[in-house]
Chain A
């Protein structure tokens, strides 16, 4: 009550300086590690397939944190929130990591890297099936065409025979005549159907025959070819990039413009457009995880996949925000801007999303476990075999849910930056183990055709990839933090946010 803060006192913002050494070290570790990793992947051909999984793991983990930042920015505007204006710039900065991380996914696009075919079997399998269909078509086309021509001729002959049978017997009883006429109708229909085939169109006939062979060869890939084909895969990657990057850059751009001119129209624009941007975010992220993660085994599917990955992303980017905020405050920034009330609110959101993640993760497991349908249980069977079973129970059930749930229930913990950051770090570790659990069990099974659950020693690649991408992520995050005020200093809602009480 006493001493309400006035937003006018804060209109110059706070600018993040320094941390040059840290940025330098992170840059060296990140880019150096990435160079080492990619060189290893390029020259150590035996290990390239294993390293593909490591790279996917690291990229998806950091991408999920960035996408979470985008989600919180959008949600903040769309729900017309006032509490979080002081931390909104941090959300925007986190979201603006998306293009940098998506660019790290470029090795997946280049077939020559060997990453793509090792990760997503449907690429090589589809190619092989199409190739063998092509070979079969070449071998059997003449035969096929001859058969078709013979069929057409035969049908025509049958029609003629039928007509002759009716006209040659003038004394037929009405019933017999009717019977023959009916038969003739059927024959005519058959002949007409066959006659629709354009026998002179060799290319069309070839395509039809090839499609038949493709279906015979790989029925599932044939059924899913509308989604699982190279062309649309590349187009989708491009759309994710444009969609996710475009949304966060527009919002962050408006927000920074408002810092300069203080015009509330930017605030209104952000609020209005965020509702429209939310579906872009939701569709992009959902299909991205379909393409990158669910397609690791193209025979498996889950309708809760998108929301499962979203829950983890939202929870942990909130955790990362708390950590970044605490470190910034340690370094002397935002001391007078962010209060324990903000920590409390962010802690509450962490608790809510801890529960939400568990709810979604359990529901997905529960429905598949109970229905017990072969094509669905595959995912969990792999992840309940060998040491993955203990892993799941320890890290996902206890570590990812029960521990942070119990800790975050305590009100005091949510108002203590150090404790809340500790919980957030714990959550981040569990999230990395969650992403690891989604991607890595597929590695042994896919690469050894099911004879091995794990690849010995491959965890070193996982670690190297993780550290490299972490370094790059940290480097760009520090760069983005320094590029604008640490909070939207001339937002109309700043007053409300500075004095928030909950």
Chain B
């Protein structure tokens, strides 16, 4: 696909193909060192150590899950203590209605902790990935599509502060991209 000259369109970024996973890995190290932030790599299979090569920090998702889990525990304990001990003490099997009823409340607490943790994963991921969405500019690129077949693809987006139309293209060439394509939207 050639670059369009339609002035109403903007450059989304560059899609670059590398010839092997090793090339892509080393290129990623260089892009990381050059200080780019809004970029990603796409490969047909997971490449071990790529997160380190890309300089990715720890995901915030685990913190979100912890928050979800703690919320679940607290909500479950509060609901059970409030309804079964404070509001309307319920005596079952001659069990006490005070702090020592705690074991009876554990199954529900355990389940709700897991439920809200799972919700935090699913919905947190959707938010972090900005999903669902109808379309993505990269889907226009035939080169990009190769990542699910045999292509080792790197994408640098134009919204990156270090992105320069010409310089970034040259940069991608110097780090070993075999094919480069500009994607517009």
Contacts and interface: CB of A to CB of B under 8 A. Distances in A.
Given A362-B106, A365-B103, A369-B103, A1 B49 contact: yes
Contacts of B106: 362, 366
Interface in B86-119: 93-95, 103-104, 106-107
Interface in B55-102: 58, 62, 66, 93-95
Given A411-B62, A501-B48, A1 B93 contact: no
B102 to A, nearest CB: 10
B25 interface: yes
Nearest to A362: B106
Given A1-B22, A372-B94, A366 B49 contact: no
A49 to B, nearest CB: 34
B109 to A, nearest CB: 11
Given A1-B22, A1-B47, 15 more contacts: A1-B25, A1-B48, A1-B49, A1-B53, A362-B103, A365-B103, A366-B106, A369-B103, A370-B93, A370-B103, A370-B104, A409-B66, A411-B58, A411-B62, A501-B49
Q: How large is the interface on A (under 10, 10 to 19, 20 to 34, 35 or more residues)?
A: 10 to 19
A1 B43 CA distance: 15
A412 to B, nearest CB: 9
Interface string A364-382: 0110011010000000000
A406 to B, nearest CB: 10
Nearest to B21: A1
A411 B58 CA distance: 10
B126 to A, nearest CB: 23
A362 B109 CA distance: 13
A366 B49 CA distance: 44
A372 B22 CA distance: 63
A369 B22 CA distance: 59
Q: Dominant SS at the A interface?
A: helix
Nearest to A371: B93
Q: Which of A366, A411, A501 is the most central at the interface, judged by chain B CB atoms within 10 Å of its CB?
A: A501
Nearest to B49: A1
What 5 A-B pairs come out closest when comparing CB atoms? A501-B48, A1-B25, A1-B49, A366-B103, A369-B103
Contacts of B58: 411
Contacts of A366: 103, 106-107
24 contacts: A1-B22, A1-B25, A1-B47, A1-B48, A1-B49, A1-B53, A362-B103, A362-B106, A365-B103, A366-B103, A366-B106, A366-B107, A369-B103, A370-B93, A370-B95, A370-B103, A370-B104, A372-B93, A372-B94, A409-B66, A411-B58, A411-B62, A501-B48, A501-B49
A366 B93 CA distance: 13
Contacts of B48: 1, 501
A167 to B, nearest CB: 65
Contacts of A411: 58, 62
Interface string A340-375: 000000000000000000000010011001101000
Contacts of B104: 370
Q: Which of A1, A372, A411, A501 is the most central at the interface, judged by chain B CB atoms within 10 Å of its CB?
A: A1
Contacts of B107: 366
Contacts of A365: 103
A40 B25 CA distance: 68
A369 to B, nearest CB: 6
A501 B50 CA distance: 11
Nearest to B66: A409
Contacts of A362: 103, 106
A348 B28 CA distance: 29
A85 to B, nearest CB: 17
Contacts of A501: 48-49
A405 B105 CA distance: 20
A452 B94 CA distance: 28
Contacts of A370: 93, 95, 103-104
A11 B167 CA distance: 49
A83 to B, nearest CB: 12
Contacts of B22: 1
